[in-house]
């Protein structure tokens, strides 16, 4: 035995020496097949019990114990634990509220139970309370697409388990086994996100407007996962057209973040020409405009240079998709879902996007020194500009035609203003606001933001939705309350196209447009030279008495404050890092 122990010790010494002499062999083997996660995990205790199936204490005992701060560690002593009991006729459940929409999973820690057998439960995540009450069926629209939000599992005796990966605020836990007692020490949300600072900020004399800016920023933050998604419950994919409002928000709030180029490169590499990105011709055009705007804000010419071959190929492909100055794009012809049944509006929008994307392409080619391609793009734009389609009673088409300069800003605004925020959409609402700004209608745009995006807040939203119709406010029930038969269950009853009923995503990055718009037009920040080496500060306060905020640049954060004086003039103070030219 003594010799054997000596052999083991000697072997360990030899192995230690080997790894000490050849650390690269050991470390390289560890690195194989690994990728560092850019995100962090934070545990969150619930803040409220929305509902419990029993309030007598017989079937659910000490439900409020789940609201106490946890530590993830099982204990032998069941101190103030929550107990759920069942019989052959009764299966209790409880619905928890974590206070705000998050992305991630769930941690459940059990206590000491007489029976050591695993206990079966059912978990249902919900972006609304209503969603936690539904089954996976075609009637309600509830689904497990992209991430499991409704599933059964077994909980261990005196231990813990972590499950789930979805977007949610509410969780329902049902006890499934008959004649059992489940002891729960704690249930905590696992919040998974990029731990990055909010470098940009916005604060004004209107608290509703401030909340809208913050909600848009937070919505995009949740979707900045491994890649830039459109939705954390559903559409956990890189949709390049949908990225544009998100990226403009990132530019205004977070500044540079690697999730943007990483996502742009992913969709480029997944889409060899002549294919259209995501199968949609307009989305390939948005890829060009995304690169133009990313370069304007971040000024990374090396990264832009890496796109040149694909960019030039795509521009050539677009230019041959015209006939006598009219766009003849193939692939899926799409602007946004609410306009998808209006073929004339889609044609008008695509004509405008051709002008906008080829103009952006010309700008990029000039930066890259390819003046011949830039000249070719501008010549095609001139031909396209001679042919102006009808607006076709579409606010989406009017916005794009106005931004492309194919119709006057006032004509575009007149079409967008008709009926107020009726027929706005969460995606193209950003371009409607941009078109109104081009017409100088800043106060009207501010009012639209407060009414339309604020309407979601009035229904209990903590993030902005995939779609919203102002008519939903009429007798609409809040998403953070149990359904009321006297009110319309907004999440269950509304939605269309691919987002019918509970399939509707209530945290969609494309809806963040007001955040970028308020920074650009109310705080008044616009980029004059790439990389924000020169920025123009021209506020538009409308009825606001003050606005202040910060704006991230590659050189550092710019601090801005505007105060409306008694005579109506705006007093402005600006604190900018060295190397940034401020224009007024």
pLDDT of residue 29: 61
**For residue range 311-364, what is the model confidence (pLDDT) as tens digits?**
999 999 999 999 999 999 999 999 999 999 999 999 999 999 999 999 999 999
HSE on the CB side for 501, CA within 13 Å?
14
| pLDDT tens-digit series, residues 50-95 | 999 999 999 999 999 999 999 999 999 888 899 999 999 999 999 9
Average pLDDT over residues 132-142: 92
Angle at 81 between CA 77 and CA 82, to 5 degrees: 150
The predicted pLDDT at position 172 comes to 98
pLDDT in tens, 442-454: 999 999 999 999 9
In sequence order, the 6+-apart residues with CB closer than 8 A to the CB of 117 are 157
Buried b (16+ CB within 10 A) or exposed e, 218-248: bbbbbbbbbbbbbbbbbbbebbbbbbbbbbb
Is pLDDT at 131 greater than 60 in this prediction?
yes
Distance CA 68, CA 108 (A): 14
Per-residue pLDDT tens over the stretch 159-178:
999 999 999 999 999 999 99
Q: Assess whether pLDDT exceeds 70 at residue 19.
A: no
pLDDT digits (tens, 9 = 90+) for 221-279: 999 999 999 999 999 999 999 999 999 999 999 999 999 999 999 999 999 999 999 99
Q: At what angle do helices 343-367 and 395-404 cross, to 10 degrees?
A: 30
Confidence of residue 18 (pLDDT cuts 50, 70, 90): very low
| Mean pLDDT value of segment 491-502 | 95
> What pLDDT, on a 0 to 100 scale, did the predictor assign at position 210?
98
Query: Measured between alpha carbons, how far is 399 from 445 in angstroms, rounded to an integer?
Result: 13
Predicted local confidence at residue 22, as pLDDT: 56
CATH topology for 201-532 is Glycosyltransferase (1.50.10)
Q: What is the pLDDT of residues 381-409, one digit of tens each?
A: 999 999 999 999 999 999 999 999 999 99
pLDDT of residue 9: 44
Instruction: Output the CA torsion sign for 139, 142, 145, 151.
Output: negative
Task: Quickly state the pLDDT bin for 371 (edges 50, 70, 90).
Answer: very high
Alpha carbon distance 477, 190 (integer Å): 28
Average pLDDT over residues 558-583: 96
Q: Is CATH 2.60.120.260 what the domain over 40-193 is classified as, yes or no?
A: yes
In the chain, where are the structural domains located? 2-31, 40-193, 201-532
pLDDT in the model for residue 30? 60
């Amino acid at each position: 035995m003594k010799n054997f122990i000596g052999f083991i010790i000697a072997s360990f010494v030899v192995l230690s020496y080997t790894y000490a002499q050849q650390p690269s062999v050991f470390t390289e083997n560890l690195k194989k097949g690994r990728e560092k996660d850019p995100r962090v995990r934070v545990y969150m205790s619930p803040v409220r019990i929305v509902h419990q199936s029993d309030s007598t204490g017989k079937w659910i005992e000490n439900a409020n114990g789940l609201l106490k701060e946890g530590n993830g560690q099982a204990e032998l002593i069941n101190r103030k634990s929550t107990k759920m009991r069942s019989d052959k006729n009764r299966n209790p459940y409880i619905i928890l509220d974590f206070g705000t929409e998050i992305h991630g999973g769930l941690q459940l820690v059990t206590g000491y139970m007489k029976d050591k057998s695993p206990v079966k439960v059912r978990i249902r995540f919900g972006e609304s309370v209503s969603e936690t009450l539904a089954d996976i069926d075609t009637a309600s629209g509830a689904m497990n697409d992209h991430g499991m939000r409704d599933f059964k599992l077994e909980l261990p005796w005196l231990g813990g388990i972590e499950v789930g990966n979805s977007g949610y605020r509410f969780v329902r836990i049902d006890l499934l086994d008959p004649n059992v007692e489940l002891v729960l020490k704690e249930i905590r949300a696992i919040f998974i996100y990029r731990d990055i600072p909010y470098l940009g900020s916005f604060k004004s004399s209107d608290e509703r407007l401030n909340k809208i800016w913050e909600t848009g920023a937070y919505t995009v933050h949740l979707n900045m996962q491994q890649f830039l998604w459109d939705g954390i419950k559903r559409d956990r994919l890189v949709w390049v057209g949908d990225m544009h409002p998100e990226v403009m928000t990132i530019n205004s709030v977070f500044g540079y973040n690697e999730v943007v180029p990483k996502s742009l490169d992913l969709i480029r590499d997944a889409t060899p020409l002549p294919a259209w990105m995501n199968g949609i011709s307009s989305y390939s055009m948005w890829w060009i405009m995304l690169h133009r705007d990313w370069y304007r804000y971040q000024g990374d010419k090396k990264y832009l240079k890496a796109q040149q071959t694909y960019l030039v190929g795509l521009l050539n492909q677009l230019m041959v998709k015209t006939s006598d100055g009219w766009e003849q794009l193939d692939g899926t012809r799409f602007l946004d879902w609410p306009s998808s049944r209006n073929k004339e509006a889609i044609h008008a929008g695509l004509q405008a996007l051709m002008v906008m994307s080829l103009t952006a392409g010309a700008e990029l080619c000039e930066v890259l020194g390819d003046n011949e391609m830039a000249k070719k793009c501008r010549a095609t734009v001139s031909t396209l500009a001679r042919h102006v389609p009808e607006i076709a009673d579409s606010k989406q088409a009017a916005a794009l035609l106005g931004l492309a300069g194919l119709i006057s800003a006032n004509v575009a605004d007149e079409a967008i203003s008709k009926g107020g925020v009726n027929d706005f959409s969460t995606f193209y609402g950003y371009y409607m606001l941009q078109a109104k700004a081009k017409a100088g209608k800043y106060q009207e745009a501010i009012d639209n933001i407060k009414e339309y995006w604020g309407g979601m807040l009035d229904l209990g939203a903590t993030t902005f939705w995939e779609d919203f119709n102002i008519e939903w406010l009429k007798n609409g029930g809040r998403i953070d309350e149990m359904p009321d038969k006297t009110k319309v269950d907004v999440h269950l009853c509304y939605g269309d196209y691919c987002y019918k009923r509970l399939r509707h995503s209530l945290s969609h990055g494309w809806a963040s447009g007001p955040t970028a718009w308020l920074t650009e037009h109310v705080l008044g920040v616009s980029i004059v030279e790439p990389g924000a080496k020169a920025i123009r500060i021209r506020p538009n306060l409308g009825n606001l008495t003050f606005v202040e905020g910060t704006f991230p640049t590659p050189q550092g954060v710019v601090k801005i404050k505007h105060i409306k004086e008694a005579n109506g003039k705006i007093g402005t103070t600006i604190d900018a890092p060295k190397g940034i030219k401020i224009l007024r």
